Structure 1
Amino acid sequence: MKMKKWNEVYKMLETGALDQKLELTGCRDLDVARKRTMHVLEEFKKCFGTEEELEIALCSAPGRTEISGNHTDHQHGHVLAAAVNLDFLACAAPNGTNTVRFQSEGWPMTTVDLSDMEPQENEKETTASLVRGVLAQMEKAGYQVGGCDIYAVSSVLPGSGLSSSAACEVLLGVIGNHLFCKDELDAVTIAKIGQKAENQYFGKPSGLMDQTASSVGDAVAIDFGDPSAPIVRPVTADLEGLGLALCIIDCGADHAALTGEYASIPQEMGKVAQFFGKEVLHDVREEEILALLPELRKAAGDRAVLRALHFYADDKRAVEEADALQRKDKETFLHLVKESGRSSWELLQNITPAGAVEAQDMAVALAATEIALKGKGACRVHGGGFAGTLQAFVPLEDVEEFKKNVETMIGEECCHILSIRPVGGIVLLLD
């Protein structure tokens, strides 16, 4: 474990000695990044009353964007996702006790007693559950964990579909790996630890896409054919080299009361699979569905059939998009993004909630984005759908005008210009 003293790290920031590490996080302005990191150090010292010679760790974990594979992961299909240049940044240090004190700026202090590492019912859906869950997995792996103090700030946009929860889990994993596991855990293992914490301790049955994208960095093509051992293929996603900017656009709709809409997608896909005696669509061939389409429509319903057809199409596209990015084939990549968006709208039907007539925020946002693109680039729904955000790949020379036009039609500050971050979870003080 390589640790530096608080005052040494602060001096490194002042002199620019950490600039190369900060650049890896995808920051657009090094001066801003230095000041933000100094702020974290200062607030850590203030919050926990520590001495300037205390040895600390400085860690970062990014949010993520889903590029392809819309609702394919829960059917054990393929996805393509990437880390983005918004992150959780934290200063951390062992405190010699059996208690973790986690202060996320702007939120109440989270305190976790590690004397009991089992899931706690009263901690479900809280940060405390993630702290306990991550460290519990490390203890089960044979490492001696202990108490620590953590001060964190986050630039991952809440409710943006960029998975702030996965970024938090990976951050905790990176900190725990550095403080207690001698940095022996690889990025995919840290992602799996985060997923288990979210599933077993937080109480949310998430897949592994979010944590893997955050932990590994750049873009990752993931095959969930065996969800217990997903195949992760790193992909170089040089969007800037392709002349593209990544934009996330908030459609302005609220996710509240949409749980049933989200749940209906895996339920209906599962209903199609069950018609063939299987649990997920990965285990059913598309040809079988087409051969028995009349019977299947009666048994599962037309929307379920259409959603199943979307799965097969987007499952293939996720692999093809990863290949196109890897070989820097811009035209094929953009064509596939458009096809994925069209399939989500027409077959998956996760743009407008059932029965909605007057309020169709996502549909209007997509239409406005298409107009603002003026036939260039591509856009699609981002993540779960029905509300939240959409994703656009915009020519670099048009991005400012695009942002202005979209925000005129949808709302101020709705368009966020991001980039793909080349690294995942990282200890900024490691060589």
Structure 2
Amino acid sequence: MLKVSTPSRICLFGEHQDYLGLEVIASGINLRFSTKAEKRDDMLLHIKIRDKSISELGAKNIDNKYEEYTIDMSQELKYENNRDYFKSIVNVLKKEGFPLVGADVTMDSEIPIGKGMCSSTTMVLVLTTTLAALCDRGRASDSKLMAKLAWKAEVEEFNEPGGMMDQYASALGGLVHIDFSDGVVPEKLDVDLKGCFILFDSLQQKDTIKVLGDSKYPTQEGLKELEQYGIHSIRDFYENPELEKYVDSLDELHQRKIRANIDNYRIQREALDMLSSGNVDDEKLGQLLSRQHKNLRDGLQISTPIIDKVLDTAIQNGAYGGKFNGSGGGGCMYCYAPVGKAEQIVKAVNDMGYPAMVLKQDKGVTITDC
């Protein structure tokens, strides 16, 4: 039997910038999606996956509730909807030349669903890696390749607007800086943070695809209009600040989106310098997180009153700062806080009626025999 596991992630800096060809800083965390798989003698793929009704942070599958699916991988697979991921995984692996074999796969997760914790991405990544490992363990052990194929299965196959941050952050694990300006260039950041991250669940579901589209397309449209001034990327404003005067030529919507992304890129660069130096100022790190959240809330307009209220409560109880996690519009958020304040912060948010847990950094995708 084969066991494969991959972590969820938090995005520290660069939210909504990976699909703009910019950079992100993210960390794998100790909420994981896992599979147990055995080969079959036919070409059927039989999947048991934790029921999607078990969706809140900290929810346990104590009743062993699973949904079941069967796919005949010997047949041509046509998509029935834009999230037909089991079929898209098989199709992508076939295109990449993997000699697939039939399998019985049980899938379990600790990751809240629809909450910005990349539950869909980790599901796609872990199953992609599992099916690949059953027929070609060597290629499946290439975490960067698995991240790329998972992105193809989740995004490219359905022509959706998602970037690649989630796939690479999960596959690689740890604290990682990923540059998307020329392909995908990941760099592990070896830094020991003195504080801790605390995750909160707003209990609000969100429409990830709509939020991504509402943030991505106006920014791209604004950049397109600014090409007449020699501007092709948000990075251009960082390298030549005098170019920002041309943003005034845009309408209010496009100005707001562009300016939020400009400042968020500056924040990311400042954070990267600090984290790369190894000399981390905890209060400054928290302030940068909160500044980014303000841009996401007011500029991209993708926070919610509940998220803002929970983050305010965390800060009032000693957190350095925080932001929502993932695409926005609901879901989870987190704060960065002194370890000694964690219990107080968790209790204050629990008293408001929202789940909370202290996070730990975690390794990337793993493949083991069991």
Report the CA distance between 1:232 and its aligned residue: 1.3
* Partners of 1:260 and 1:184 in 2: CA distance: 34
Find the counterpart in structure 1 of residue 59 from structure 2.
Answer: none
> Which sits farther off after the overlay, 286-295 or 204-213?
286-295
Find the counterpart in structure 1 of residue 346 from structure 2.
Answer: 403
Going from structure 1 to structure 2, the CA distance change for 1:91 and 1:285 (only over 3 Å counts) comes to same
Q: Deviations over 1:364-389 (max 9, x none)?
A: 2222222122xx42211222223222
| CA-based RMSD | 2.6
Letter in 1 for 2:357: H
Q: Deviations over 1:128-157 (max 9, x none)?
A: x33333333333233311211111211111
Going from structure 1 to structure 2, the CA distance change for 1:270 and 1:429 (only over 3 Å counts) comes to same
Question: 1:121 aligned to 2:79?
Answer: yes
* Partners of 1:406 and 1:178 in 2: CA distance: 41
Gaps of 5+ in 1: 1-55, 353-359
Matches within 5 A, 1:124-139: 124-125=82-83, 129-139=84-94
Find the counterpart in structure 2 of residue 247 from structure 1.
Answer: 198
* Partners of 2:276 and 2:116 in 1: CA distance: 24
Going from structure 1 to structure 2, the CA distance change for 1:382 and 1:59 (only over 3 Å counts) comes to same
Checking the alignment, whether the CA contact within 8 Å between 1:248 and 1:417 is kept in structure 2 is yes
Matches within 5 A, 1:313-324: 313-324=263-274
Match of 2:248 among 289, 294, 298: 294
SS at structure 2 position matched to 1:195: helix
SS at structure 1 position matched to 2:48: strand
Find the counterpart in structure 2 of residue 97 from structure 1.
Answer: 42
The higher radius of gyration belongs to: 1
Match of 1:151 among 79, 96, 106: 106
Find the counterpart in structure 2 of residue 46 from structure 1.
Answer: none
Letter in 2 for 1:110: Y
Report the CA distance between 1:261 and its aligned residue: 5.2
* Partners of 1:425 and 1:196 in 2: CA distance: 17
SS at structure 1 position matched to 2:139: coil
Q: Deviations over 1:319-358 (max 9, x none)?
A: 4324433443331433422332233234333224xxxxxx
Question: 1:383 aligned to 2:326?
Answer: yes
Question: 1:345 aligned to 2:287?
Answer: no
Match of 1:364 among 302, 309, 313: 309
Report the CA distance between 1:246 and its aligned residue: 1.3
Q: Give the paired residue count.
A: 349
Find the counterpart in structure 2 of residue 415 from structure 1.
Answer: 356
Going from structure 1 to structure 2, the CA distance change for 1:380 and 1:188 (only over 3 Å counts) comes to same
SS at structure 1 position matched to 2:171: helix
Higher relative contact order (CA 8 A, sep 6+): 2
Alignment TM-score, normalising by the size of structure 1: 0.74
* Partners of 2:191 and 2:368 in 1: CA distance: 22
Report the CA distance between 1:223 and its aligned residue: 1.2
* Partners of 2:26 and 2:71 in 1: CA distance: 32
Matches within 5 A, 1:128-207: 129-185=84-140, 186-201=142-157, 204-207=160-163
* Partners of 2:191 and 2:175 in 1: CA distance: 6
* Partners of 1:231 and 1:338 in 2: CA distance: 26
* Partners of 2:311 and 2:94 in 1: CA distance: 46
Letter in 2 for 1:70: E
Report the CA distance between 1:195 and its aligned residue: 0.6
